[in-house]
Amino acid sequence: MEETNRQKKIAGILQEDISTVIQNHLRKNAVNNLLVSVTKVHVTADLGYAKAYLSIFPADKASPVIKEIQEMTSTIRHEVAAKVRNQLRRMPELQFHNDDSLEHMDQIDRELKGENNPIENPDILPRRKKS
């Protein structure tokens, strides 16, 4: 289903404010070697839920960071609600997900350049299941 203009506007506002709040939390906790960015926000048609996709660098720290951010969801939601109180009547429930599209694109790029060639190294392919 196509997103309405209202959904897109609210998603843009939320994306900017969620990013600001998360960056402030990272600075407050003195986490300097981590880059977290909000790549996309999807808002449901009834504006009740918002899914925020986070890109985390380095990728090996992604799952503990996502877990920590999910535990802080109520705090993040409260701070974002304070920022958008004049633009939204009701703050949507927030859900955070890992966006691994950058790692996927990097893997495809490496494979196109000739790395991880299955012809030269057949061990990288998954084994076929015998039926």
Low-confidence ranges of the chain (pLDDT < 50): none
131 falls within a domain: no
Residues contacting 34, CB < 8 A, separation 6+:
26, 56, 57, 58, 61, 65
Give pTM, 2 decimals: 0.79
Q: In this structure, are residues 74 and 94 in contact, taking their beta carbons and an 8 Å threshold? A: no
| pLDDT given for residue 118 in this prediction | 67
109 falls within a domain: yes
Number of separate domains in the chain:
1
93 falls within a domain: yes
Determine the Cα angle at 76 with ends 73 and 78, to 5°.
105
Q: In this structure, are residues 4 and 82 in contact, taking their beta carbons and an 8 Å threshold? A: no
32 falls within a domain: yes
90 falls within a domain: yes
User: Which of helix, strand or coil describes residue 70?
Assistant: helix
- Report how far residue 27's alpha carbon sits from residue 59's, in angstroms, rounded to the nearest whole number: 19
Domain that holds residue 14: 5-118
| pLDDT given for residue 131 in this prediction | 64
| pLDDT given for residue 18 in this prediction | 96
123 falls within a domain: no
25 falls within a domain: yes
CATH of residue 19's domain is 3.30.300.20
100 falls within a domain: yes
50: β partners: 43, 94
| pLDDT given for residue 103 in this prediction | 79
Q: What is the pLDDT of residues 14-41, one digit of tens each?
A: 999 999 999 999 888 877 788 899 999 9
| pLDDT given for residue 74 in this prediction | 95
| pLDDT given for residue 94 in this prediction | 96
| pLDDT given for residue 8 in this prediction | 94
